[in-house]
Structure 1
Amino acid sequence: MQFTDGEIKDIVWKKLTHFKDHRGWLCELFRHDDIPTEFHPVMAYISMTEPGISRGPHEHIDQADYFCFYGPSNFKVYLWDARKDSPTYGKRDVRVVGADNPFALIVPKGVVHAYKNVGNVQGLVFNAANRLYKGWGRKEAVDEIRHEEAAGSPYQLD
């Protein structure tokens, strides 16, 4: 499958703003009144990624992710619309976000996604998913299709 560059339907990019004063800064990561109901978080986690390291590509069958890239590094984010019923099926969107360009990003189910730390320092990413990892009590299968090591995968990072 070949992907062409372009915006992807149902992806939500939200600029994050740092409110600064003499004490430091504050950044609102999410508000229920800013997010469509189907994406309301039920759990949250933070991850650290070393410089030059990527996570993904993978997709979820039923889960949406709400990522926040705010620093202290920058990340190259890759999105591929693999939803056959989507009007933007076959589109790829790649952006650099993080310390220099803080953004929140909603990735709906069926959109393949990956990110790579393209900075020189460890980078933090916040995620507030709308499904529990491995379900209630961690008793279900992980809702994830991994493409990282699939031979001939169309989901390539540059």
Structure 2
Amino acid sequence: MKTVEALEGVIVKELPAFSDHRGGLVETFRIDDLPEFVRPVMSYVSFTRPGRYRGPHEHHVRYEVFAFPGPGDALVTLWDNREWSPTRNGKMVIAAGASKPRLVVIPPGIVHVVENDSAEDLLLVNYPTTLYKGWGRDKEFTDEVRYEHDESPFWKDYAEDLKGRHRHED
């Protein structure tokens, strides 16, 4: 897949970071930083161990609003899987985390994988636009399509990228 500078609808913003003698602060989310059609409804925090990854997968309805304030540094690989998109089949790789605090907005139809590219746990804060398992967590449908198998073109492409880098074994 062809690597491109940007994918249609993907937003990457630097997160404002402040520090003084007491410590530091990173703004991870502001409603006025997002387009009006991207409205988060929940949040969660995930930690990914060094050399591990989450994905690749995509959502049909949900926007993912990922904040990477640190600790840890990530490589976020994105593939445009939307038939109508002018950047269809394009691939984008974003560095984010403690070294580059960033917000990454991932639209539906963008396949994505988050890899911890550092020696410490990676913190990711997500502000998605749909509730996991629906209202009251009583629905089985999660709007997620996983591509974590050898037949997946996204997995094959990612596995090529992993050559020479760490990889978890489950």
TM over 0.5: yes
1:26 equivalent to 2:25? Answer: yes
- CA distance in 1 between counterparts of 2:69 and 2:39 reads 20
Q: Which moved more, 1:50-59 or 1:26-35?
A: 26-35
- 1:100-119 alignment runs, 5 A limit: 100-119=99-118
3-state SS in 1 of match to 2:69: strand
- CA distance in 1 between counterparts of 2:100 and 2:117 reads 13
- 1:89-128 alignment runs, 5 A limit: 89-128=88-127
- CA distance in 1 between counterparts of 2:80 and 2:113 reads 12
Which amino acid in the other structure matches residue 42 of structure 1?
A: V
Which amino acid in the other structure matches residue 26 of structure 1?
A: L
3-state SS in 2 of match to 1:137: helix
**Alpha-carbon distance, 1:33 to partner:** 1.1
Report the equivalent of 2:78: 79
Contact 2:67 2:125 in 1 (8 A): yes
Identity %: 42
Unpaired segments ≥5 residues, structure 2: 162-170
- 1:1-158 alignment runs, 5 A limit: 3-6=1-4, 7-140=6-139, 141-149=141-149, 151-155=150-154, 156-157=157-158, 158=161
**Alpha-carbon distance, 1:72 to partner:** 1.2
**Alpha-carbon distance, 1:32 to partner:** 1.1
Aligned residue pair count: 155
Unpaired segments ≥5 residues, structure 1: none
Contact 2:3 2:90 in 1 (8 A): yes
What is the TM-score of this pair, normalised by structure 2? 0.88
Deviation readout 1:22-65 (Å, 9 max, x if unpaired): 22111111111111122111000000000000000000010000
What is the TM-score of this pair, normalised by structure 1? 0.94
**Alpha-carbon distance, 1:14 to partner:** 0.5
- CA distance in 2 between counterparts of 1:99 and 1:33 reads 23
